[in-house]
Amino acid sequence: MNKTATGFTKKLDIPTPKEKLRHPMDRYLRTERFPHIWCATCGIGTILTAFISGLEKSGLEQEKVAVVSGIGCSGRAAGYLRLDSFHTTHGRAIPFATGLALGNPELKVVVISGDGDLVAIGGNHFIHAARRNIDLTIICINNFNYAMTGGQAGPTTPIEANASTAPYGCYEFPFNLPYLAESSGAVYVARWTSLHIRRLAKSITEALLKPGFSFIEVICPCSTLYARRNRLGTGLDLMRFYHDNALIKHGADTREIDIHYQDRIVVGKFIDKDKPTFLQKRDKFLRGKLGDKFVPYKGPQPI
């Protein structure tokens, strides 16, 4: 306690410079690795913040959550999260995460990666993990192009959009990711943009607490490459575009929510259903067939 000049007593609670810099979310981040590699106005940082908020609200133990990324801008997310984190090979985040999640069923394993990583080179793994209903939460950051390598066209690039390998515009049909996820067997499917941070965080909490293959697509601005090549303006212009063109439609039929070039983006929670996970189904099935002879997998060998 200290006397102030005006005579009132006041508790000295001025934070030290170090404390001043500490953000309540820092415990989820490897702050020693900052500054991060992402461009100014990139949406990945915002999505990471939403992820941390969603994770905190989920009440899951920080120790029991692992994150796996593939390769690309979004693939670097694992490296900044203070969780057990794995930066793997291009396209193989999901099968790596499958091994990790099945290897230790106590874990909640999250995959954070990009659209090129998850549904082009990793597309086969995506559909099969969904089909098996592996207990994974997949956060697919979709910036409509391969940004790490300089803005090439990818499986989500809309028709007409320009990319470095589509210099006259893209003419391939893109994937509609929520439809792909739903038809492959996902139990939870949502789409947001990096503008919808609170809704996204809520979806992330729901997905983390949902047993089985949950999928969230997040539309993310890439002002350095995608927006620049297509003259879509700055990061702020892109956020304004999301604000004006995102249409929240929970429960929308995923067949009807394709994304067209510079057109409305349907967002919301589309699917939320219950289905036994791979392990639940397996254990029940094998116990039924083998009876007492069945020895369930006990997780990793004890130390």
For the chain, helix, strand, coil in percent to 5 are 40, 20, 40
Cβ 174 to another protein shortest distance, Å: 22
Is residue 226 within 8 Å of 200, Cβ to Cβ?
Answer: no
Mask of contacts with another protein, 124-153, x by CB under 8 A?
Answer: xx--x-------------------------
Our CB check for another protein shows the closer of 183 and 245 to be 183
| Phi-psi sector, 17: left (phi>0), alpha (psi -120 to 50), beta | alpha
Q: Is residue 196 at the binding interface for another protein, with CB under 8 A as the rule?
A: no
Is residue 165 within 8 Å of 157, Cβ to Cβ?
Answer: no
Give the containing element (helix H, strand E) for 192: strand 188-193
Interacting residues with another protein between 41 and 100 (CB under 8 A): 63-64, 66, 68, 78-79, 82-89, 91-92, 94-100
Is residue 47 within 8 Å of 203, Cβ to Cβ?
Answer: no
Cβ 282 to another protein shortest distance, Å: 8
Q: Which stretch binds another protein (CB under 8 A): 4-12, 122-130, 208-216, 265-273?
A: 122-130
Mask of contacts with another protein, 6-45, x by CB under 8 A?
Answer: ------------------------x--x------------
Size of the site for another protein (CB under 8 A): 47
Q: Would you list the DSSP string of 198-211? A: HHHHHHHHHHHHSS
**Distance from C-alpha of 81 to C-alpha of 96, rounded to nearest angstrom:** 18
Site of interaction with another protein (CB under 8 A): 30, 33, 63-64, 66, 68, 78-79, 82-89, 91-92, 94-104, 106-107, 124-125, 128, 278, 286, 290, 293-301, 303
